[in-house]
Structure 1
Amino acid sequence: MTANTQIQTAEQCFEQGVAEHQQGLISQAEAAYRKAIELDPAHAAALNNLGVLLEGRGESNQAEALYRAALSSNPTYADALNNLGLLLAASGRAADAEAVYAHAIDNHFADSTTYRQCGNLLASIGLLDTAEASLRHALTLGGDPYPTLLDLSSVLARQQRPAEAAQRLLEALARRPASPVAHARLGALLQSMQRLDEAEAHLRESLRIEPNQPETLCDLAALFQNTGRHADAEACLHQAASLAPGHLRAHGSLGNLYLAAARYAEAEASFRRALAIDASSVEALNNLARVLESTHRSKEAEENYRRVLEIDPSRVPTQLNLSMSMLRDGRFEEAWPLYESRYAESSFWGDEAALRVKPQLPAQEWQGESLKDRSLLVWPEQGYGDSLQFARYFPLLKAKGLKQLTVVCPRALVSLFERIEGVDTCLPLEDARDLPKHDFWCFTMSVPLQMGTTLANVPASVPYLTASAERIAHWEARVPEAPLNVGLVWAGDPRPQLNSAHETDQRRSLHARAFLPLLNTPGVRFVSLQKGASTQPQIDELPPAVRPLDLMHEVESFADTAAIITQLDLIITVDTSVAHLAAAMGKPVWMLSRYDGCWRWLNDRDDSPWYPTMRLFRQVRPGDWDEVIGRVQKALTERADAAPVQAAVQTKRKGPSKSGASGKKKS
């Protein structure tokens, strides 16, 4: 047998193997490849294809040896080179894979596929700039640019360059207009850029081309949920879960949708289905714990939070959730240190990231050091209610020997906070630039940790907020005399730009019409304390005869609201900043609390250790405000019947007391 005949026979065996491989006849293909290699041990293509076959059934060591043998026979063989690089990368040997690609590139026999795979490898280990350069070079080497454009768009998106990433996807679509993958990726990217109409169009086009895409259905569901089309979102997620019963994201997203809508039984079922798919899913465990917390099963919730932290000890949202669970249980000593996780750097915060950044201030962050003869700057965080609640600590901080206490707060609170005993300087947050150097700074809500606050020693002395005599005089004539003057607040700030805050507001807020049973209570004059572009006008939807007095169009700051509150006997409000303001002034407050109430109101109490004049009316069923309003109506009727008319009028018109009108003296 001649050499030429032997080579030809090896080639015939190889071609037979290719045909059988393509038909899925794996055993026959393997035998043909092995025969070709037996006849010609240097047959690079047969070595490569046998490597592909063995890698496909998990024999990676043998596959690697075959790829290397193919390259030994033909060092410029691109298929074997790229297959070896992919195998090494998939095996976690990124450095070895990178060396293979670098060798090909350095010796100038790399093709566009090699540069593309090298770029993807570099991206996978976080070398995004180098990955971008490799992918861009791949585009200059000919061949089909479509897959490289997809990969380059992903790298650009990870570099926070969404507009450029979108342009690459448009270029990919110019080459393959019917690509469901490119449409889906572009839709998801445009959604992240808040170009929602365009995003929806591309997601729908992707599903028109290929309807059975669970991941794309989940992306479209996310868009629907973010634009308030909850029924459409639910339908998309059910379709995704039906197409792929083991699709973790579909079940997890359904759980999130139900949790946001306070459909707790359905949320729990969805998260448990997700955990049946992946018992170690930290997202599903964390969110199941949130459901358990919301349904007053705090022990089970804590067990799940701790399970998450066993898997991922640094997972910030779970640390924060666990801290709030412990705060709700009154376990302040354990909770406050963990509550500091709200400012840990994390990628989990999503649309609230801007709220979770520590400021750059000319001071050292206070960690409990002695404050005697030092200066401290207190920095605000979160909402108005949080600032109002924790302003109680300002006099206590000053009592630690501070020579200078500077408070920064939103402008609407300045005229109120500058009256608090111990505050030397109060600056509006909006103008807080070029601040003078201080020894220390501290977040408002970190003060309880540094002050060692426990449930037993909550500083609950009220009033610690007061209205000025001048403002009281301005507003006192505006509120008519009545046996019982009652302030009303029915809604919070919707904050639609922050998904989680908006969802919470939807559970805590009512429409003004929900208060109609109260508004007919004999002997009561109602005064609106409601602000908000969408909520204040709801007064006009009430029958004219029972509309509360509305002065809030003239209110410029919380100091004005405080002055109006001095003229009232009782404030009835949902969980908003006015509840904190009125209670901090020592006024009786009846607060309507949603079923999954805020941690600060603790569990199963109708009073508050933070505010001695507050009474809580909690939902007994999720979303059921009618039952709550019924209890409030009964209590209000009893209060109105018990209040002697003359005593109420005399109390009303005594004028401000020293404690109600005065604060610290100003020179």
Structure 2
Amino acid sequence: MGPTADRAAPPLTVREAIALAHTHWNAGQAAQAEDLCLRVLDAVPDQPDARHLLGLIAHAYGHPALALAHLRAACQPPAAPAVYCSNLAEVCRQQGRLDEAEAAARRAVAADPGLAEGWNNLGIILQEAGQLAASLDCLQRVAALLPDSPQAHNNLGNTCKRLGDNPQALAHYRRALELDPDYAQALSNMAVALGDEGRHEAALAAIRRAIEIDPLLPQAHLNLAALERARPRPGQGQAIPGGAPAPAAPPDEHALGEAEALLREGRYAEAETLLRDALAQAGRHVALLRLLVQALRPQGKLREARAALEHVLRAEPGDTGSRFELAEVLLTEGDFDAGWREYRYRYHLAHTAALARHVQKPRWDGRPIPGQTLLLHDEQGYGDTFQFLQLVALARARSGARIVLEVKSPCHALARRGDGIDEVIVAGSPPPPFDLHCELMSLPLALGLRLDDLPVRTAYLRADPARVARWRARLAGLPRPLVGLAWAGRPTHPRDAQRSLALADLAPLAQPGITFIGLQVGEASAQAASPPPGLNLVPLGQDIQDFDDTAAILTLLDVLVSVDSSPVHLAGALGCPAWALLPFASDWRWLRERRDSPWYPSLRLFRQPAPDAWRPVLEEVAVALRALQAARSADA
């Protein structure tokens, strides 16, 4: 939760706001794009252009259910832009909803028969559904519309391969590689086709080149292993590859739909039971397993979720969404070695423009680069930025480079006072010349960060002394202890319902002699006008202009009590005491069952003992507040 602009009555027309949102999105500024779309929806509920872009943003950040909801709303009949229907089709395909995907793709090409993307998506959907002749027709249309598209020829090759026309498949793969010699996926596919013709040396050369180009292409590694096994050895006849496991039976579409409805309602245990029954009937079908993961994780069943994800990835190694989910599970379990490796797959999610910035230059991999310039840049929320700024000084020491840091505007002033930074720029402005780049959240992988390395630094951000002096004067004379309160995060966060509270929920914290300082900003700050009885609240949200104000106030408090949102991370980065109120299935960075944070020694964690069980958490915090008050009285 960081300071946000008031969304009421934006001084833009809807068309201007949507255009500006797309400008932000294309510049990698997802938060600004999302905020503009939400302003539009405040003025025009279910405005399709805003819903569509929100769907792309949700999809980019790995939130499939939210993405699907937005895109379905954007594509409500009778009319919807063809490209919106095409994007809905692709999201449905990635979630295994092939019937809905096909219907959306057919709407797209009916609305715009010249939309190559729509025909391409329909062709791939039909290919996955086993309708190979129809798939071939669609993909031939794509090649006619885009004769110089390497992707079109690669996809045509795949369908020809499945139809048993290996020579034609090879012809399309070769054409794709004529158009793009570094097309790793086409090289990998061509290697399989060459292997099927017994041309093992040529196949191995192609697959090794594919891996050299894209070491993160999972299917290429599997293809290499298969080709190595099938390669004839001296004195042996040609090996006969073992048969692939029989495919699982198609899942019951009704079961899928019912499970999705239960998940939307937060009825995770019921969804789990239904999905396990469906899996018993259909076998380990990936669509069912993906949904099962969504039922298991909110219940804290990480070991089972990990097993389900591993089954999915054995069946579909290229499922980058599941790899990203596996990364979060591994990191929650404290397995940083494997977790950070999997976390890099977030760059391979569909529509990840918000994550893949500055890729015209190589990504830094942790090696010394003395005399060069390394551009570090944020990529997700404000809290993520505050958390991973603790690694910047180590990156500078390890690289020997000049460090340029790019952050969103609300973090700019604070970041300028961070350690190990030579220059700070605002995201969206032209960067100075640089040699390599690295996202802040890729630094753990580059640095080989392990759990026992934490904390790398403490109190690595500093408040502005002038702001501190101003807020000290404002708070002077208030009875202590001073306890900061932040009760809600960004309402559009996919897990906001699990992490945020209403101010009224904090009634158990009220007790005489404690002054509560309201740090809540945004829509939820309006609740400060009616605090619970007995809770002596001084609301400051309307006067907080930026994170520099929040930082200054945090240095003057006895403790911050906050849900999992940016003020907690800012307090930790400043070295200020804070108590984090965490849901039962908390975010990966808080690990499992710990009451402390290895990232932030000044934090104390208060966890739900069961899903939605906030009352025990608040009662525990109330006891801790009484102890704080007693200790302060004893020291007086």
Kindly indicate whether the alpha-carbon contact (under 8 Å) linking 2:289 and 2:309 is maintained by their aligned counterparts in 1. yes
CA offset at residue 522 of structure 1? 2.1
Partners of 2:347 and 2:612 lie apart in 1 by 31
| 1:319 to 1:541, Cα distance in 2 relative to 1, 3 A | same
**Counterpart of 2:519?**
529
Partners of 1:93 and 1:303 lie apart in 2 by 31
Kindly indicate whether the alpha-carbon contact (under 8 Å) linking 2:455 and 2:601 is maintained by their aligned counterparts in 1. no
User: Among residues 605, 629, 642, which one is paired with 2:594 in the alignment?
Assistant: 605
Matched, 1:396 2:387: no
Partners of 2:404 and 2:560 lie apart in 1 by 31
User: Among residues 610, 615, 620, which one is paired with 1:626 in the alignment?
Assistant: 615
**Counterpart of 1:235?**
none
Partners of 1:317 and 1:396 lie apart in 2 by 30
User: Among residues 380, 383, 386, which one is paired with 1:385 in the alignment?
Assistant: 383
Give the letter aligned to residue 512 of structure 2. P
Give the letter aligned to residue 142 of structure 2. L
Partners of 1:623 and 1:415 lie apart in 2 by 37
Matches within 5 A, 1:171-250: 248-250=252-254
**Counterpart of 2:443?**
447
User: Among residues 273, 293, 296, which one is paired with 1:292 in the alignment?
Assistant: 296
**Secondary structure at 1:393 match in 2:** helix
Partners of 1:282 and 1:560 lie apart in 2 by 48
**Counterpart of 1:339?**
343
Matched, 1:571 2:560: yes
| 1:483 to 1:273, Cα distance in 2 relative to 1, 3 A | same
Matches within 5 A, 1:43-54: none
Partners of 1:454 and 1:91 lie apart in 2 by 43
Give the letter aligned to residue 530 of structure 2. E
CA offset at residue 483 of structure 1? 2.4
Aligned length: 407
**Secondary structure at 2:474 match in 1:** coil
Partners of 2:251 and 2:530 lie apart in 1 by 46
CA offset at residue 122 of structure 1? 4.2
User: Among residues 322, 342, 355, which one is paired with 1:318 in the alignment?
Assistant: 322
Partners of 1:545 and 1:630 lie apart in 2 by 15
**Secondary structure at 1:367 match in 2:** coil
CA offset at residue 422 of structure 1? 1.4
**Counterpart of 2:469?**
473
| 1:537 to 1:376, Cα distance in 2 relative to 1, 3 A | same
Partners of 1:464 and 1:396 lie apart in 2 by 12
**Secondary structure at 1:368 match in 2:** coil
**Counterpart of 1:516?**
507
Output the aligned Cα RMSD. 2.6
Partners of 1:131 and 1:415 lie apart in 2 by 50
**Counterpart of 1:588?**
577
**Counterpart of 1:505?**
496
Higher RCO, 1 vs 2 (CA within 8 Å, ≥6 residues apart): 2
**Counterpart of 1:422?**
420
Q: State the Cα deviation string for residues 223-279 of structure 1 (Å, max 9, x = none).
A: xxxxxxxxxxxxxxxxxxxxxxx9733322332333344322112023223324432
**Counterpart of 1:253?**
257
**Secondary structure at 1:644 match in 2:** helix
Partners of 1:460 and 1:368 lie apart in 2 by 16
Structure 1 stretches lacking a partner, 5+ long: 1-88, 98-119, 134-245, 347-352, 496-500, 648-667
CA offset at residue 646 of structure 1? 6.1
**Secondary structure at 1:407 match in 2:** strand
**Counterpart of 1:153?**
none
Aligned-residue sequence identity (percent) comes to 33
Partners of 2:307 and 2:440 lie apart in 1 by 30
Q: State the Cα deviation string for residues 438-468 of structure 1 (Å, max 9, x = none).
A: 1110011000111111111123432011102
| 1:273 to 1:563, Cα distance in 2 relative to 1, 3 A | same
Partners of 2:396 and 2:146 lie apart in 1 by 55
Partners of 1:381 and 1:628 lie apart in 2 by 31
Partners of 2:314 and 2:129 lie apart in 1 by 26
**Secondary structure at 1:581 match in 2:** helix
**Counterpart of 2:486?**
489
CA offset at residue 357 of structure 1? 4.3
Matches within 5 A, 1:10-25: none
Deviates more, 1:292-301 or 1:540-549: 540-549
CA offset at residue 543 of structure 1? 4.9
**Secondary structure at 1:400 match in 2:** helix
Kindly indicate whether the alpha-carbon contact (under 8 Å) linking 1:489 and 1:573 is maintained by their aligned counterparts in 2. yes
**Counterpart of 1:363?**
361
CA offset at residue 425 of structure 1? 1.0
| 1:631 to 1:345, Cα distance in 2 relative to 1, 3 A | closer
Kindly indicate whether the alpha-carbon contact (under 8 Å) linking 1:294 and 1:595 is maintained by their aligned counterparts in 2. yes
Partners of 1:308 and 1:291 lie apart in 2 by 15
Matches within 5 A, 1:82-161: 120=134, 122-125=136-139, 127-128=141-142, 130=144
User: Among residues 556, 561, 570, which one is paired with 2:545 in the alignment?
Assistant: 556
Give the letter aligned to residue 487 of structure 2. W
Give the letter aligned to residue 261 of structure 2. L
Q: State the Cα deviation string for residues 111-169 of structure 1 (Å, max 9, x = none).
A: xxxxxxxxx55444463364999xxxxxxxxxxxxxxxxxxxxxxxxxxxxxxxxxxxx
Matches within 5 A, 1:614-653: 614-644=603-633, 647=636
**Counterpart of 1:432?**
429
Give the letter aligned to residue 537 of structure 1. A
Kindly indicate whether the alpha-carbon contact (under 8 Å) linking 1:483 and 1:645 is maintained by their aligned counterparts in 2. no
CA offset at residue 394 of structure 1? 1.2
User: Among residues 410, 413, 428, which one is paired with 1:412 in the alignment?
Assistant: 410
TM-score normalized with structure 2 length: 0.60
Partners of 1:539 and 1:91 lie apart in 2 by 54
Give the letter aligned to residue 521 of structure 1. Q
Kindly indicate whether the alpha-carbon contact (under 8 Å) linking 2:489 and 2:499 is maintained by their aligned counterparts in 1. yes
Kindly indicate whether the alpha-carbon contact (under 8 Å) linking 1:268 and 1:288 is maintained by their aligned counterparts in 2. yes
Give the greater-gyration-radius structure (CA).
1
**Secondary structure at 2:368 match in 1:** coil
**Counterpart of 2:156?**
none
**Counterpart of 1:273?**
277
**Secondary structure at 1:343 match in 2:** helix
Partners of 1:394 and 1:553 lie apart in 2 by 32
CA offset at residue 292 of structure 1? 2.6
| 1:633 to 1:383, Cα distance in 2 relative to 1, 3 A | same
Partners of 1:444 and 1:562 lie apart in 2 by 21
CA offset at residue 345 of structure 1? 4.1
**Secondary structure at 2:398 match in 1:** coil
Give the letter aligned to residue 513 of structure 1. A
CA offset at residue 356 of structure 1? 5.1
| 1:335 to 1:374, Cα distance in 2 relative to 1, 3 A | same
**Secondary structure at 1:364 match in 2:** coil
Partners of 1:93 and 1:526 lie apart in 2 by 64
Partners of 2:399 and 2:555 lie apart in 1 by 32
Q: State the Cα deviation string for residues 333-391 of structure 1 (Å, max 9, x = none).
A: 11111110111144xxxxxx456541245532112232322211011111111111000
Q: State the Cα deviation string for residues 501-530 of structure 1 (Å, max 9, x = none).
A: 33x011100001011121x22221110111
Deviates more, 1:274-283 or 1:415-424: 274-283
Structure 2 stretches lacking a partner, 5+ long: 1-126, 148-249
Kindly indicate whether the alpha-carbon contact (under 8 Å) linking 1:362 and 1:437 is maintained by their aligned counterparts in 2. no
